[in-house]
Amino acid sequence: MKNIAKLLFLVLIAANPLFAALSARVDSKSVELGEAVTYSLELRGERIKKPNITRLCESDIISSGSQTNMQIINGEMSKSYTLSYRFVPQKSCKIDSVEVEIDGKIEASGEIEIEVKPIIGAKDLDFELGLSSDKKELYVGETFDVTLIFKQKNSVEAVDSEFTPPEFKGFWVKKENQPQRYQEGAYSVTKVLYSLTPQRVGEHKISKAQMRVASRSGRKDSWGAWTPTIKWKTYFSNELEFSVKALPLGVDLVGNFAIKATLEKKEISANEALNLTIEVEGDGNLEDIKSFKQNIEGVAVFDEKIAIEGNKLTQKIAYVAERDFIIPPFVLRYFDPKTKEIKSVATKEIKIEVKNNKAAEALNIQKEPSISAEGDTKVYKSGYDAVILAVVFAAGLILGALVMMLKPWKSVKKEKSLSIKEPKVLLGKLLPYKDEKEVSEIVEILEKNIYSNQKLEIDKKRLKEMLKRYKVD
């Protein structure tokens, strides 16, 4: 009799999915858009490799849990595990079969169909979420705005909420404004403005934003009593689609810009730094503008890092020279998406006067004094003249001895030699030779030490050899 009972029990296990090694179920196969579904897997066995599930029905898992169940049947204890996954499907879909390794065998669950129905009645009026933009066709680098609006009816109370922003794949978020809150009729409105730039050519989509809202609800228990509960529901915005085109060849900027250059003065002394400020204002991809540093022959040019604040770009540039020079115009070429034309803006060239201009020094040539063909002859006849000659000769001997002992030419040479403690003077002397590789390296170190307040070491021996090679004194 016992054997027959065990046989019947095994038949029931094989026929009933509740006793299978793996079974799957959902708490509801038909939901309204925004309502959550709980997907559960029940596993029976001793050795189980739990599956890694992160998405169901193309939707992220918002929460998960596990439970261990102990059951005794006919004196025998069995253990099972229930894994639960909660998600919010955005459209009707099918949950695919899940494979799990149990006691060394691969078990598979069945497929489950989920129906997602549109929101009916006046429920959609309680909360609303939407995305909007005034542009659908864009160029790479073109700046545009996307507005997100969330509306909540004043008569509806939200216990809690969780916001999931849209995904901006293919776009660079330049700026996200702080949320603005205001009243609009029967609604409280929250508005967020995103400033974006497309990064590549093609068709791009901004995904739906999500807002999970917890509101007060209730249900009847098994005794018929009303029990208050909290119910979560997810609201979705619409999607936005954009077509992004390439800019014309040779142009990296798109928008509308204005440029100006401001000098602190137009006259400087030799080797004195002249500071210039460049400002670019406009609506466009300012972040793609490169440094305005120019190459001017005989002039050392130093540029600071570009700074961008709002719709304004600023860069400071310093010039050091020994003679007059001209700062060429700063030119900015861009594509205007409104007129579909390539335009340019530019500053005017600026003439700079350098005082103590070394190029203006005149060459001073001294002529040898002429000597007559006959020559001049003096005969010292008097004894007085002889005494004077003797004194002069003795003084010459004494002076010569002092010169040999003191060696004053060494101090003169030291005074004339360039000192590394005078970097600005040294820089000015080396600038004419900066096209030479070894000189350019020293010039770069001097520039960083002078104008960037760095403290880089210079090889004194190498510097001395270089000054001697180029006859710089």
What size, in residues, is the chain? Answer: 473
Confidence check: pLDDT of 389 > 70 = no
Residues 6+ apart with CB under 8 A from 103: 21, 45, 46, 47, 48
Among 174-183, 271-280, 387-396, the range scoring the smallest mean pLDDT is 387-396
- Residue 98 and residue 108 in contact, taking contact as beta carbons nearer than 8 Å: yes
Taking the domains of the chain in order of start, what are their residue ranges?
A: 2-117, 123-245, 255-359, 408-473
Helices 437-451 and 423-430, packing angle to 10 deg: 150
Write out the two tokens for 440. 């350019």
What are 398-448's pLDDT values in tens digits? Answer: 665 555 555 554 444 444 455 666 777 777 777 777 777 777 888 788 877
CA–CA distance, 245 with 326 (Å, rounded to integer): 40
Q: What number is the average pLDDT over the span 233-257?
A: 92
Q: What number is the average pLDDT over the span 67-89?
A: 79
Q: What number is the average pLDDT over the span 378-400?
A: 53
- At 380 the pLDDT is 39
CA–CA distance, 276 with 255 (Å, rounded to integer): 25
- Decide whether 123-245 matches 255-359 in CATH topology: yes
Beta bridge partners of 151: 128, 189
- Residue 274 and residue 320 in contact, taking contact as beta carbons nearer than 8 Å: yes
Give the CB-side neighbour count of residue 437, counting CA atoms within 13 A: 0
- At 464 the pLDDT is 82
Q: Smallest Cα–Cα separation from 276: which of 295, 260, 290, 263? A: 263
- Residue 9 and residue 19 in contact, taking contact as beta carbons nearer than 8 Å: no
Residue whose tokens read 């060429």: 328
Cα angle for residues 133, 136, 141 (degrees, 5° grid): 90
Confidence check: pLDDT of 16 > 50 = no
Pick the CATH number of 255-359 from 2.60.40, 1.10.3470, 3.30.450, 3.30.200: 2.60.40
Give the CB-side neighbour count of residue 63, counting CA atoms within 13 A: 7
Write out the two tokens for 87. 């998600």
- At 122 the pLDDT is 46
Task: Quote the pTM value.
Answer: 0.60
CA–CA distance, 229 with 226 (Å, rounded to integer): 10
CA–CA distance, 64 with 97 (Å, rounded to integer): 18
Write out the two tokens for 313. 């770009």
Greater confidence, 247 or 394? 247
* Stretch (H or E) spanning 160: strand 160-164
Percentage above 90 pLDDT, the chain = 35
CA–CA distance, 148 with 128 (Å, rounded to integer): 11
DSSP 254: B
The CATH number assigned to the domain with range 2-117 reads: 2.60.40.10
Among 59-68, 76-85, 219-228, 359-368, the range scoring the smallest mean pLDDT is 359-368
Greater confidence, 10 or 304? 304
- At 350 the pLDDT is 94
Most confident of 10-14, 38-42, 213-217: 38-42
123-245: what CATH class? mainly beta
Indicate the pairing of strand 240-245 with strand 137-139.
Answer: parallel
Give the CB-side neighbour count of residue 114, counting CA atoms within 13 A: 27
- Residue 250 and residue 194 in contact, taking contact as beta carbons nearer than 8 Å: no
Q: Smallest Cα–Cα separation from 312: which of 280, 350, 289? A: 280
- CA 211, distance to chain mean position in Å, is 29
DSSP 17: G
User: What Å distances lie between residue 101 and 17, 23, 24, 375, CA to CA?
Assistant: 17, 13, 15, 124
Strand order through the sheet with 350-355:
267-269, 350-355, 325-327
Q: What number is the average pLDDT over the span 59-81?
A: 79
Beta bridge partners of 326: 351
- Residue 82 and residue 40 in contact, taking contact as beta carbons nearer than 8 Å: yes
CB neighbours (10 Å) of residue 463? Answer: 19
CA–CA distance, 117 with 232 (Å, rounded to integer): 17
What are 143-163's pLDDT values in tens digits? Answer: 999 999 999 988 888 888 889
Confidence check: pLDDT of 31 > 90 = no
Residue whose tokens read 């029940």: 42
Mean pLDDT of the chain: 80
